[in-house]
A and B are shown apart, each in its own frame.
Chain A
């Protein structure tokens, strides 16, 4: 996959894919939009926009309740999308797919519903140094509540997580190992299978933050061997406000509900309430039905592409961007792991990332700047913030050249003779 050749896989027609995304046709400050902030949120294809629109116009009603036609149609769309998620990540059954607001809510659910009743004083939760705040803070809160201890596995100067370094930190008291599939700040792809295997051998429950991975690499939860896998719809071309928690059925079965309310019960009396079966036990209240419909449409859209070719294209974009940006004087790429996703974080000597972000926006180029909700990472690399470009399969080599050219111009404007 690591070919530096610029050849786009023949069976991947970028121009045709771009036509499916209406927003890519717009201009920003008079320039064609160059959207390189896919890691923060990806854009929507027509298929998703239309599916949500059709649902709102024709099928909306509450689910799992009425006997009337609309309620049945909405229920079929909602539960049909759950089946699509099952196939998309190769879960064993519908019972293992819980719809939530996003990755953040999914991790919090695991911390509170699995972790809180399970952990004892002196137990340990093991994470890594490159985690997003959403995979740090819920565990800190859990540790505060239970008296457990948070243990952090190191990264090296390339932004790599070494499986043996993580294994060395697994102790008799480690109960949970939580880590990103792909780092949102560095692009590092973690050695998932080795980590889950090592954890399984010691009876440690694994939680994977899949937010950055779900759209950029095949995810097969059985093959990855994890207990929990969390991801968000909006990073895989679906609407915001919808996400998924995959959990092994045996674990979900044991866990108490997270929130109480309608839909998560079978019977309620003031003496006793009987909880609903999986996955409804974890879906209290009226859910984000249109979001789920959009997520189902996004999965159908992804299946309509040659995903292998799409991912190969993203890798070619990464290689091209690493070379093009790497050639700019004073530019330092932050995160140079051997296995990287289509994400490139960098700092430019003498130019603060926020100035770069503003200058690129003037050219219609959207990137992310800041600490990327991973403050321990930027602190590790001793930078106040970074600029980050993240590529999706609809990005082009020309866009990367625009990025490199505008970045070089920003340096000439702000720091013409290097840093002050």
Chain B
């Protein structure tokens, strides 16, 4: 287990300079993710053009893994259809949790593959997956829910 597998340069960079970070008004869909034990908290806002994610931004605070994961996710899903985004969610989920996820799969994920180091740190999987579960919630129920999404 090497810390540099977890804190790869891509992760460190996206933590220090998160992309698509800030408010988005008006938004067509909003969802909130909170992991109270960690203190991770993010709000995700989307603009949708028919079925396509035209714009996506996030705000909040969290650890390097959750911040970088959210930043990478916004880059990856911008311009994608709902269906493509859900497909990506499934693949990222496998990447984070399934030891058998193959290298080809990781390759196809591009920059997102940098998150694969999380697999060796079971306590941190919830940090990386919070933004993705929040995205699914935003796509499925565009109004902010009363209870935020949590992966704890």
Residues of A within 8 A of B (CB): 29, 351-355, 358-359, 362, 370-371, 375, 378, 383-385, 413-415, 420
Instruction: Indicate the member of B3, B61, B123 with the most A CB atoms within 10 Å.
Output: B3
Cβ contacts under 8 Å, A355 to chain B:
7, 63-65
Q: B15: CB under 8 A from chain A?
A: yes
Cβ contacts under 8 Å, B17 to chain A:
420
Pick the contact of B38: A351, A354, A414 (CB < 8 A).
A354
Instruction: Report the Cα distance A384→B34, complex, angstroms.
Output: 11
Cβ contacts under 8 Å, B15 to chain A:
414, 420
Cβ contacts under 8 Å, A415 to chain B:
16
Pick the contact of A378: B1, B7, B39, B40 (CB < 8 A).
B39
Cβ contacts under 8 Å, B64 to chain A:
351-352, 355, 414
Contact status A29-B1, CB under 8 Å: yes
Residues of B within 8 A of A (CB): 1, 3, 6-7, 12, 15-18, 36-41, 61-65, 121, 123-124, 127
Pick the contact of B127: A354, A371, A384 (CB < 8 A).
A354
Pick the contact of A352: B3, B36, B63 (CB < 8 A).
B63
Interface of B is mostly: mixed
Pick the contact of A358: B6, B12, B62 (CB < 8 A).
B6
Q: Which residue of B lies closest to A384 (CB)?
A: B39
Q: Which residue of A lies closest to B17 (CB)?
A: A420
Q: Which residue of B lies closest to A351 (CB)?
A: B64
Measured CB to CB, the closest approach of chain B to A40, in angstroms, equals 13
Cβ contacts under 8 Å, A352 to chain B:
39, 61-64
Contact status B38-A359, CB under 8 Å: no
Cβ contacts under 8 Å, A29 to chain B:
1
Cβ contacts under 8 Å, B40 to chain A:
354, 384
Instruction: Indicate the member of A29, A355, A375 with the most B CB atoms within 10 Å.
Output: A355
Instruction: Report the Cα distance A420→B62, complex, angstroms.
Output: 12
Contact status A353-B39, CB under 8 Å: yes
* Contact flag A354-B12 (CB < 8 Å), given A385-B38, A414-B64, A420-B17: no
Instruction: Indicate the member of A354, A362, A414, A420 with the most B CB atoms within 10 Å.
Output: A354
Cβ contacts under 8 Å, A378 to chain B:
39
Cβ contacts under 8 Å, A420 to chain B:
15-18
Instruction: Report the Cα distance A370→B40, complex, angstroms.
Output: 10
Cβ contacts under 8 Å, A359 to chain B:
3, 7
Measured CB to CB, the closest approach of chain A to B94, in angstroms, equals 22
Cβ contacts under 8 Å, B36 to chain A:
371, 375
Instruction: Indicate the member of B15, B64, B124 with the most A CB atoms within 10 Å.
Output: B64
Contact status A414-B12, CB under 8 Å: yes
Q: Which residue of A lies closest to B1 (CB)?
A: A29
Contact status B39-A358, CB under 8 Å: no
Cβ contacts under 8 Å, B127 to chain A:
354
* Contact flag A362-B39 (CB < 8 Å), given A414-B12, A420-B17: no
Measured CB to CB, the closest approach of chain A to B96, in angstroms, equals 15
* Contact flag A362-B63 (CB < 8 Å), given A375-B36, A413-B12: no
Cβ contacts under 8 Å, B3 to chain A:
358-359, 362, 413
Measured CB to CB, the closest approach of chain A to B141, in angstroms, equals 26
Q: Which residue of A lies closest to B4 (CB)?
A: A413
Pick the contact of B124: A358, A362, A375 (CB < 8 A).
A358
Contact status A362-B41, CB under 8 Å: no
Can you list 14 A-B contacts with CB-CB less than 8 angstroms, sorted by A residue number?
A29-B1, A352-B64, A355-B64, A358-B123, A358-B124, A359-B7, A362-B1, A370-B39, A378-B39, A413-B3, A414-B12, A414-B15, A414-B64, A420-B17
Measured CB to CB, the closest approach of chain B to A4, in angstroms, equals 32
Instruction: Report the Cα distance A200→B123, complex, angstroms.
Output: 46
Cβ contacts under 8 Å, B37 to chain A:
370-371
Instruction: Report the Cα distance A356→B38, complex, angstroms.
Output: 12
Q: Which residue of A lies closest to B16 (CB)?
A: A420
- Please list the 3 inter-chain residue pairs (A to B) with the smallest Cβ-Cβ separation, ordered nearest first: A384-B39, A385-B39, A352-B63
Instruction: Report the Cα distance A29→B36, complex, angstroms.
Output: 28
Contact status B41-A384, CB under 8 Å: yes
Measured CB to CB, the closest approach of chain A to B2, in angstroms, equals 8
* Contact flag A354-B124 (CB < 8 Å), given A370-B38, A384-B39, A385-B38: yes
Instruction: Report the Cα distance A29→B121, complex, angstroms.
Output: 13
Measured CB to CB, the closest approach of chain B to A349, in angstroms, equals 13
Cβ contacts under 8 Å, B39 to chain A:
352-354, 370-371, 378, 383-385
Measured CB to CB, the closest approach of chain A to B88, in angstroms, equals 25
Measured CB to CB, the closest approach of chain A to B3, in angstroms, equals 5
Measured CB to CB, the closest approach of chain B to A17, in angstroms, equals 30
